[in-house]
A and B are shown apart, each in its own frame.
Chain A
Amino acid sequence: MENFIIIPFTVGLIYLTLVLIYRFVKWVRGLSKLDKLRLVQSFKIRRMLRSLKEVFYEGLLHRKIFRKNPVLGYMHMSLAFGWFLLIVLGHIEVMAARRSLLVPFYLPVFFRYFETGTTFFASGIFSFLMDFFLLIVLSGVALAMLKRFKKQLFGMKKTTRLKTGDRMALTSLWLIFPLRLLAEGMSAELYGNGSFLTSSVGHIIGSFSSESTNLVLWTAYSCALGFFFAALPNSRYMHIPTEVLLIFVRNAGIRLKKRNNTYTDIQVFSCSRCGLCLDNCQMAAAGINHAQSVYILKNIRNNNLTDEQLFNCLLCGKCEVDCPVGINTIDLRITQRIESTLQYNSSYNYLEDLPARKASTIYFAGCMTHLTPGIIASMKTLFHMAGENVWFMDEEKAPCCGRPLMLAGQHDAASKLIVNNTRKILGSGAKTLVVSCPICYKVFREDYELGNVEVLFHAEYISRLIREQIILPGKTTTRIVYHDPCELGRGMGMFEPPREVLRATGKVIPVKNEKQMAHCCGGSLGNLKISQQERAVLRNQAVKDYQQYLPDVLATACPLCKKTFARHRGIEVMDIAEIVVSSIRKSAEVVPVKASVKEEAFAEELV
């Protein structure tokens, strides 16, 4: 037997191992001190088991892809899990054959070449299983080839564009298993060491059988393997080893904190460029096909990210929903924006320190609600009915909440506004802060440090008033379709309170694209590049979808969504606060329930 056939494989494997060790060490060393501590502390049995379980489910079985599309899931599972089993079983087989736990690393790979016809314990079962799993892997390869040409069969509208390095790796990956089949088939024909699959293939190619063709086929197989291993670090297949590291690092609680560190690299290299995010991205409808998350990740990795791409994103978060690797695409993009605009942050040194007013509750309308005075009027009515001692903090003059700056990457500038607002909120001694804009809500919850002040979204506040029967909306047969605002739904995970409020006033119609899969209205502040015409395309697409359900009113809980949809002119749009107030009026329940108690306080408010 010629030993040189193991050389391509061995060289490739050694190169891959060295690169992986180098990169993993670099990445872990690049984490902040605190993150390293987190990682060390995560080395506990239960956490490790959880991570291993996730590696098994997502890295091998690909459960998330299965959920999205079973055929696509099978394709990934057969390749990953099938190959994994071939490796594990191959080792066990060799151990059984050699009756030793220590076997040369290359032997399981070239076992059928070196072991010519010896029988050992359960050798028949082993060769049957090895053939069986080879068949599974081959079915995955066949599906992968089919997917390249007929992606619609896999429930995908789009697939990613490949670059040369990826193409080379892809070709060698596609060749590995067909070559293995041919090589093992030939050996089976020559030495009779195959099972159902390899023997049959051996019979078919039997007329070419000779020691030399056998050698050529096994050499080709070794070359394909070696080539794939060598190409892997510089191709998208780097995601295979990196994803394992990502799972451990993520489960240690490590996140991006407004600045790039090696956690960015770990996420970037974990992207398999499967393209599932492409189908979820609405911007393609407006002809924007270059700024999706998969391309951003690729361009970060290749150091050729442009601002045009970076800022052409609604930050709606839909791409995150189906990412099989669980990459935090939004955090990642905002962090890139922060880094790319570091020198442009305004000092905001003209901000005034206005005095706070003592109150038990603060209402912060925010810039967007100021553009929809209908919502402000409804909120004032509700506060009045609740007899609340409210300070309308930004009625006359107040800085923005900071979130739009955050979305633009202006983190330092946003911090100035946050400090200014925080001082006032804490100074008022309020226990509750009510906001009616999801954009404000997100930043108040995530980036402000407000101690014991409870931040309530108006939906929560109103549903509380309804539950405590402080306000009594009248239920009608109005058909309501509720639009989940991005910042509130996917952004903050708040899906139920607005629906709860609406159910008290009418019939809430469930729609196909809701909650995690809700549309973006197109008005997003996150996109700094999109044109008004392109926004209108996205808006019309969403409205068309909602109109199928024949709603009397399209309800939303975001002033920006409301404004965006109203401009469509073909559908009535209302904020949940407005719907509640109008339903109270309709049911003639205008008498404020608790108003007598603190009405004077509020009257003073108005003056």
Chain B
Amino acid sequence: MNRFLPDVLIHTTEMMKNKHVAVIGGGIAGMEAASVLARQGLKVTLVEKQKATGGKLNDWHHLFPDFSSPGVVVENLDKKTVRAGVNVVCHTEISHIERNNGRFELSDQRDVKIFADAVIVASGFHVFDATLKEEYGYGLFSNVITSVDFERRMKKHGKLLTLQGTEPRRVAIIHCVGSRDAKVGNIYCSKVCCITGIKQAIEINKMLPECEVFCFYMDLRLYGSKFDSLYLEAQKRHKIQFIRGRLSEAAERPDKSLQLKAEDTLQGRPLRMNVDLVILLVGMEPALSNSSLMRNNQMKPDENGFFRSVNMHEARNVGTQEGIFMAGTAICPMAVNETLENARSAALEVMNFLRTDKNHGGF
């Protein structure tokens, strides 16, 4: 007993020290996975295409359901990666992953080459391009914005104004833009938009108590443990009005306000309404780089274009190419806390893989 355990640990630690893991994507999933692995003694390189890590969280104003600061999450993760000794490479967008002699060769469009024993793809998601729903007028009408624009504006200015600089008196929040919409080719649910919409509606109400807020939804998917209570709070305390029905079209009026046409499916009636501002809750799509990352290896997309897991229950982080793993929204839409949990489980899968990897002196 006494002899057995330490031997294994010593052997493991020695062996693992020589292993190198490359993590693609310096968002929260990549940062979390990289720092966990580095803390276990592995050499880890985190590659980020932007000038800094943090990914999309850098743009967010507040997180649901507790209105906490995404900046703090990113800050803590930054500290963790530095402390663990992760080698962070920014300004580098990996476009190819190739397996050579049992190792992986990662390269970008220039001449950067990274060699690794295992790879974690944490390339995240792409925000749905709302101009594809031309009937909602995004990009055409100045007072139609997306939920991403809302977060950015709130973060930058701390307030919400129409393009004319006035405080909106009526705001419509449109759910499921680019999600569960076969017409635009996305039949899946992006999962986080419903609660994002409720969070943003409450924020508007807190900021502008006189402003009426309407949420147009198909059905509300409030899966998180605290989400339903936030929904109740939105209705009771903040007087947010929820209308079951998809928006059919928006038209800009001469005063730049918007006329909405929809159907209230609970009343079974067509509905026409004027609002000052429309917020489109845009969904999550597979990252644009997915196809190039899959090109030179055995990684496969799932039916929605995200990375396919070998088993969605037992091995969600394991990709169809041996030695390549996924973390976070590269697998499917998920919230911040789920992403972080998912990244830690990806790190564990990598450890298990490298330990048992016969080609590399594992046991």
A373 touches B135 (CB 8 A): yes
Residues in B whose Cβ lies below 8 Å from that of A532? 182-183, 185
Number of cross-chain contacts by CB at 8 Å: 42
Option from A370, A397, A566, A606 in Cβ contact (under 8 Å) with B132: A566
Nearest CB in chain A to that of B249: its residue: A370
A372 touches B134 (CB 8 A): yes
B140 touches A373 (CB 8 A): yes
Interface: A449 (CB within 8 A):
no
Which one of A562, A563, A606, A607 has the highest number of Cβ atoms from chain B below 10 Å of its Cβ? Answer: A563
Interface: A569 (CB within 8 A):
yes
B132 touches A607 (CB 8 A): no
B135 touches A569 (CB 8 A): no
- How far is B187's CA from A532's CA once the two chains are assembled, in angstroms? 10
- How far is B137's CA from A606's CA once the two chains are assembled, in angstroms? 18
Interface: A284 (CB within 8 A):
no
Residues in B whose Cβ lies below 8 Å from that of A88? none
A371 touches B249 (CB 8 A): yes
- Given A566-B132, A569-B132, A606-B254, A373:B137 Cβ within 8 A: yes
Option from B129, B134, B140, B254 in Cβ contact (under 8 Å) with A371: B134
How does the 8 Å CB contact mask read for A160-194 relative to B, with 1 for contact and 0 for none?
00000000000000000000000000000000000
Within 8 A of A (CB), among B169-199: 182-185
How does the 8 Å CB contact mask read for A363-376 relative to B, with 1 for contact and 0 for none?
00000001111101
Interface: A396 (CB within 8 A):
yes
How does the 8 Å CB contact mask read for B225-258 relative to A, with 1 for contact and 0 for none?
0000000000000000000000001111010000
A394 to chain B, nearest CB (A): 11
A87 to chain B, nearest CB (A): 58
- How far is B132's CA from A377's CA once the two chains are assembled, in angstroms? 17
Interface: B141 (CB within 8 A):
yes
Nearest CB in chain B to that of A606: its residue: B254
Within 8 A of B (CB), among A562-586: 562-563, 566-567, 569
Interface: B296 (CB within 8 A):
no
Nearest CB in chain B to that of A368: its residue: B135
Which one of B129, B140, B141 has the highest number of Cβ atoms from chain A below 10 Å of its Cβ? Answer: B140
Size category of the A interface is 20 to 34
- How far is B187's CA from A531's CA once the two chains are assembled, in angstroms? 12
Interface: B259 (CB within 8 A):
yes
Nearest CB in chain B to that of A396: its residue: B259
- How far is B133's CA from A569's CA once the two chains are assembled, in angstroms? 12
B185 touches A566 (CB 8 A): no
- How far is B131's CA from A562's CA once the two chains are assembled, in angstroms? 13
Option from B132, B182, B251 in Cβ contact (under 8 Å) with A373: B251
- How far is B252's CA from A373's CA once the two chains are assembled, in angstroms? 9
Option from B134, B140, B254 in Cβ contact (under 8 Å) with A566: B134
Residues in A whose Cβ lies below 8 Å from that of B252? 373
B140 touches A374 (CB 8 A): yes
A395 touches B251 (CB 8 A): yes
Interface: A346 (CB within 8 A):
no
A415 to chain B, nearest CB (A): 21
Residues in A whose Cβ lies below 8 Å from that of B249? 370-371, 373
Within 8 A of A (CB), among B262-287: 272
Nearest CB in chain A to that of B139: its residue: A374
Interface: A11 (CB within 8 A):
no
A567 touches B185 (CB 8 A): yes
A sample of 14 more A-B contacts (CB under 8 A), given A370-B249, A373-B252, is A370-B135, A370-B251, A371-B134, A371-B249, A372-B135, A373-B250, A376-B251, A377-B140, A395-B251, A397-B272, A562-B134, A566-B132, A567-B132, A569-B132
